[in-house]
Amino acid sequence: MVQRGQHDERERYARGAEVLAAPVEARPAAAAAASPSPTAGSTLAPRARRGRRGRRRRAGRGRRTLVAVALAITTVTGTAGWAVAHEQPAVTGPPPGASAWRADDSLGRPLPDPATASPTAVARFFAGLTTAEQHTLAQRHPLITGNLDGAPITLRYAANARALAVERDRELARARDGGLTSQGRDRARDRAERYAALLAGDRQILAFDPRDRGQVAEVYGDLTRARRAAVIVPGSDIDLGSYATPTAPATPPRAATTTADRADAGPGDGASAPPADAEAAATPIGMATSLRSELARQAPHTGTAVISWTGYSTPVGLGLDAATGRLARAGAPRLDRFLAGLAVADGAPAAPPTVLCHSYGSVVCGLAAHRIGPDASDLVVLGSPGTRADSVADLGTGARVWAAKDGSDWIGKIPHVELFGLGHGADPASGGFGARRLSTARVDGHAGYFAPNTESVRNFARITLGDFDAVRCAVDSDSTAAEVRGCVSDLL
């Protein structure tokens, strides 16, 4: 059913794009049938004929606008969702517990306000605490400490593990509450299972927010010893429920990692084995594990880490959320703050990370680009509906900008327009945008960019490692062509 729905939507997109590209006079419209005959037109006064022609021109422009708006509204910018959805609330600000945190005077000094303190100020505050004091705060205020950008990395892992356990127990109690409806108990049981899955094994949860649909960021590899790191920003339909869906191996057997990878292994490195197949690589967990595996293959003796960041409220299915920048505007400051915290925290990676933004995630990255330049070395947008910028220069970022879009990706059929706040603007994979266009050989569809053995995931790893001489760019003919060329001689 889902596949049929995807096919139908793609067909509607193709028909809509053809209508948009056709001249106005070639488009079927009721107005054409209502046009006056030549004989009738000859009896009109010149002023009346000019007025009629002006109204027809305005009607033609109106039809073009309506078609573009309709296509923009039906933009699907996610990984897997095709159902019409309601507007989603934008979750912003610190998670529950901020008031208790602000009122805590146990250290004899004010705690940094989680809503206003900069990541630099947070890092400075924690640097002045003893290890015991740090862990006391994590025990007393796990949700705040675990989401406080600038706090020590390993302290956030511990705080989020405690927060997940508290939330799991709360939902288990709700699942046994006879005062709730059966549907309410089922929902509580589902959430408890999701939290339990994130507590399993040695998973490293860098952010966890249970509000609304839930948000989470997870680290794959030893971030505290990483020389190179990447942050993945996924697109629509991703939340705590879909992120934790066991469609990709979250913690595969350690025997699956390579000998070279084990030589650099730290906590959580068991998650670096590749996903079982390309479908698994379409999930946030699969994207991160596939890239982590490719990094280990290309540079087995280099410490690397990948962060899957679902730290914003994503659109669900079709609707205005996917076609507008409302949720992206709410998510961009959260991404900026997360990266700034990563740059200054105790245990941060040695170099600024590469940020890879898929689908609607590229809209978030585009709106955050002017702020994240110092905290990200490279910005890669893939399968993008647009970044709300007309060019690389308009992004205003100091990061190197790359774009990937395969010919098999249906996102290429959407109109790259922005009208009345609908649509996301220019195609970042077009020649005029100014991004370096990456080869996507062997990619299959919108969700296939991180699939093992694709040229795209290999390129993502090369960029993350700073191996620019090995990066391959797209050819103008066929993205699956065997011959690709280098494109970064100016960076060497």
pLDDT of residue 267: 38
Sheet bearing 354-358, strands edge to edge:
204-209, 215-221, 304-310, 228-233, 354-358, 378-382, 400-404, 436-437
C-beta of residue 313 within 8 angstroms of C-beta of residue 331? yes
Range with the lowest mean pLDDT among 32-46, 249-263, 365-379? 249-263
What is the mean predicted confidence (pLDDT) over 282-292?
93
Considering the chain, what percentage of its residues have pLDDT values greater than 90? Answer: 65
pLDDT greater than 70 at residue 489:
no
- Give the confidence band of 205 by pLDDT, cuts at 50, 70, 90: very high
- Cα separation, 195 vs 139, whole angstroms: 18
What is the mean predicted confidence (pLDDT) over 88-94?
94
What is the mean predicted confidence (pLDDT) over 204-233?
97
Range with the lowest mean pLDDT among 8-22, 207-221, 422-436? 8-22
pLDDT greater than 70 at residue 328:
yes
- Cα separation, 77 vs 413, whole angstroms: 12
pLDDT of residue 317: 84
Output the average pLDDT for the chain: 80
pLDDT in tens, 166-188: 999 999 999 999 999 999 999 99
C-beta of residue 79 within 8 angstroms of C-beta of residue 308? no
pLDDT of residue 243: 79
What is the mean predicted confidence (pLDDT) over 429-442?
94
pLDDT of residue 54: 54
pTM: 0.80
| Whole-Å CA distances, 7 to 14, 18, 82, 343 | 11, 17, 10, 43
- Give the confidence band of 374 by pLDDT, cuts at 50, 70, 90: confident
What is the mean predicted confidence (pLDDT) over 294-313?
97
- Cα separation, 65 vs 395, whole angstroms: 26
pLDDT of residue 295: 98
- Residue that is written with structure tokens 């910028």 in the block: 389
Between residues 280 and 73, the one the model is more confident about: 280
